[in-house]
Copies of this chain bind each other. A is one copy, B any other.
Amino acid sequence: MAFSYSRGTAITFLVLIFTSISCIINIPTAEARIRRYKWEAKYEYKSPDCYKKLVITINGRTPGPTILAQQNDTVIVEVKNSLMTENLAIHWHGIRQIGSPWFDGTEGVTQCPIVPGDTFIYQFVVDRPGTYLYHAHYGMQREAGLYGSIRVSLPDGQSEPFAYDYDRSIILNDWYHKSVYEQATGLASVPFSWVNEPQSLLIQGKGLFNCSTPGIQAGLCNSTTPECFPYVMTVVPAKTYRLRISSLTALSALSFQIQGHNMTVVEADGHYVKPFVVKNLFIYSGETYSVLIKTDQNPSTNYWMTTDVVSRKPGTSQGLAILNYYPNHPRRPPPTPPPSGPLWNLTEPRLAQSLAIKAHPDHIHPPPLTAHRTIIMLNTQNRVNDHVRWSINNVSFNLPHTPYLISLKHNLSGVHTRIPPPTGYNLKNYDIYSVQDNKNATISDHSVYKLEFNTTVDVILQNANSMSNNTSETHPWHLHGHDFWVLGYGKGKFEMENDTRTYNLVDPIMKNTVPVHPYGWTALRFKSDNPGVWLFHCHIESHFFMGMGVVFEEGIDRIGKLPSSIMGCGETKDIIHKP
């Protein structure tokens, strides 16, 4: 539940905020409000795809409640951990946390985990309109169902560069029947045990597992439980709908489509897009889009909304939901079968969509024309100490037990190495098209990329062959604390001289999550202007768990006193912190 306060109350609150938070950069205007949420995270039995299993709910729901706010509002979420013996941490995906780097919700990077029984208060300003997400950022906990939407609208009186009648949010997901513990234990084991393809695809938390699947435990799957009836989005004919579509899949890249309806892409990760029309939208874990659809089809029937796995050979049935034209019965199945998805292994159309996304002409944030430094990040799958891991420049990430933000700010010794991680790779001699040995691969000793404050940084994400022949996966990389300009995508090995010339420096879109296509590269640019310690990682839950990430540090000396609420683990127990 959100409580909106009157202006007078809001001002009182703002005074309190200024007293307790030292360096808010975006000052909320007088109209800004406090949006206060009280959440309880709990394990409960649910059957989102007809198969009963334990999930993590917020206030009894998964996906959790949608956070609704206006630009410059302050969102306060009190999270009570009622998970019994398991900790949690919640990340506010796409919110840059300007002035509140300690509330990014990234366990091991910005905070200690929230222990059971404790109530943690997240407080941050949503400084830009757009479509954002929240989800667990601790181990592989996101997959247990702890996630939801954040929708930030423009202040009253301001308008978007496109028109619509109604606004709706849909989160796409994939779903496993094994617990997060079972999956993670397999991934961390020698011999390695892969999580395999998900059991179903969810649309707004609902999927449809085939209960006749042989070998499943008796009594757990019930195809008639109302819980797993497909998600129904009811629309009235002859209107324009803004559909906010986001993906929080554990593994799958998806293609989303609505039978008989084109979609006009207008927003990506909180930035306005130069509109373009698609029949199906490719979407990767961690991305958000707004599309406009017109309910201009035959209003006497319903229509399928579908998701299909792409980029990996699908082992999961199509995800289904119903676009219900009012006043048809919401549960009436559409008269024709759902459309089949695109060919899973065709990279071209996906690359084409990536290239089509440009900033809206009236909302271009011009990028700096040059960068102060360039970091090339070669993405490889390796064997490190007999474990199967993902690595960046041959270093496989693992989280320290004392969060980076605290140990760096407090100069705790013995937690991190001061030797920087490798900033590039000898690409000339690296064959990205075949399985490589990567013999010198190591597990990170918690080194960080220290970025000089307020400089421009280029990152080239270079894809390669994995440990399987003729396989290169799609990795959606997500950057915390920033948006970046997407300067370009390319096939094959990145060539500094030639490829930098192809960069779009005119109207690049800004995003926080971007795919690296198979055997390809993606170039992005950002400014190190947000004091904090920020994770940059593949948003595929198992890939990050297996080491696919890095950490950036910037302007740590500009950060105020860290709140004691983020302490409690590792070396932070001995930090003196008065209330």
A residues adjacent to B (C-beta < 8 A): 43-45, 54, 84-88, 108, 112-113, 115-118, 138-141, 179-182, 184-186, 188-189, 214-219, 399-401, 564-565, 567-570, 572-574, 576-579
A521 to B574 alpha-carbon distance, docked (Å): 47
Given contacts A86-B87, A87-B87, 11 further A-B contacts (CB under 8 A): A44-B189, A45-B182, A84-B139, A86-B86, A112-B568, A113-B115, A115-B570, A117-B570, A214-B218, A215-B219, A574-B577
Chain B residues contacting A112 (CB-CB under 8 Å) are: 115, 568
Q: A84-B139, A573-B564 are in contact. Are A400 and B185 (CB under 8 A)?
A: no
Task: Identify which of B43, B117, B564 contacts A185 (C-beta below 8 A).
Answer: B43
Chain B residues contacting A117 (CB-CB under 8 Å) are: 108, 399-401, 569-570
Q: A573: nearest residue on chain B (CB-CB)?
A: B564
Q: A87-B87, A139-B84, A401-B117 are in contact. Are A54 and B577 (CB under 8 A)?
A: no
The minimal Cβ–Cβ distance linking A446 to chain B, given in whole angstroms, is 11
The minimal Cβ–Cβ distance linking A268 to chain B, given in whole angstroms, is 31
Inter-subunit contact A85/B54 (CB<8 Å): no
Q: A53: nearest residue on chain B (CB-CB)?
A: B182
A88 to B399 alpha-carbon distance, docked (Å): 19
Inter-subunit contact B86/A85 (CB<8 Å): yes
Inter-subunit contact B215/A570 (CB<8 Å): no
Task: Identify which of B87, B116, B181, B577 contacts A43 (C-beta below 8 A).
Answer: B181
Task: Identify which of B139, B186, B219, B564 contacts A85 (C-beta below 8 A).
Answer: B139
Chain B residues contacting A139 (CB-CB under 8 Å) are: 84-85, 116
Most chain B CB inside 10 Å of its own CB: which residue of A88, A116, A184: A116
Task: Identify which of B45, B84, B215, B579 contacts A218 (C-beta below 8 A).
Answer: B215
Task: Identify which of B87, B113, B567 contacts A573 (C-beta below 8 A).
Answer: B567
Q: A185-B54, A401-B117 are in contact. Are A138 and B217 (CB under 8 A)?
A: no
A140 to B116 alpha-carbon distance, docked (Å): 13
Inter-subunit contact B118/A569 (CB<8 Å): yes
A565 to B44 alpha-carbon distance, docked (Å): 32
Inter-subunit contact B116/A401 (CB<8 Å): yes
A518 to B181 alpha-carbon distance, docked (Å): 39
Across the A-B interface, the 5 shortest Cβ-Cβ residue pairs: A117-B401, A215-B218, A568-B568, A217-B217, A85-B139
Q: A54-B185, A87-B87, A217-B216 are in contact. Are A576 and B573 (CB under 8 A)?
A: no
Q: A85-B139, A87-B116, A115-B113 are in contact. Are A54 and B573 (CB under 8 A)?
A: no
A574 to B572 alpha-carbon distance, docked (Å): 12
Chain B residues contacting A576 (CB-CB under 8 Å) are: 576-578
Chain B residues contacting A115 (CB-CB under 8 Å) are: 87, 112-113, 115, 401, 568-570
Chain B residues contacting A86 (CB-CB under 8 Å) are: 85-87, 181
A255 to B578 alpha-carbon distance, docked (Å): 55
A214 to B215 alpha-carbon distance, docked (Å): 11
A43 to B193 alpha-carbon distance, docked (Å): 14
Inter-subunit contact B574/A579 (CB<8 Å): yes
Inter-subunit contact A141/B85 (CB<8 Å): yes
Q: A144: nearest residue on chain B (CB-CB)?
A: B85
The minimal Cβ–Cβ distance linking A338 to chain B, given in whole angstroms, is 30
A477 to B88 alpha-carbon distance, docked (Å): 33
The minimal Cβ–Cβ distance linking A562 to chain B, given in whole angstroms, is 12
A185 to B44 alpha-carbon distance, docked (Å): 6
Chain B residues contacting A108 (CB-CB under 8 Å) are: 117
Give 17 pairs: A residue, B residue, CB < 8 Å, sorted on A: A43-B185, A45-B182, A45-B189, A54-B181, A54-B182, A84-B139, A85-B138, A86-B87, A87-B87, A108-B117, A115-B401, A115-B568, A118-B570, A214-B218, A215-B217, A574-B577, A576-B577
Chain B residues contacting A185 (CB-CB under 8 Å) are: 43-45, 54, 84
Inter-subunit contact A574/B569 (CB<8 Å): no
Most chain B CB inside 10 Å of its own CB: which residue of A139, A567, A572, A573: A573
Chain B residues contacting A116 (CB-CB under 8 Å) are: 87, 113, 139, 401
Q: A85-B113, A219-B215 are in contact. Are A401 and B118 (CB under 8 A)?
A: yes
Chain B residues contacting A188 (CB-CB under 8 Å) are: 84
Inter-subunit contact B84/A85 (CB<8 Å): no
Inter-subunit contact B569/A564 (CB<8 Å): no
A179 to B86 alpha-carbon distance, docked (Å): 13
Inter-subunit contact B568/A574 (CB<8 Å): no
Task: Identify which of B181, B186, B564, B570 contacts A574 (C-beta below 8 A).
Answer: B564
A182 to B85 alpha-carbon distance, docked (Å): 12
A520 to B84 alpha-carbon distance, docked (Å): 33
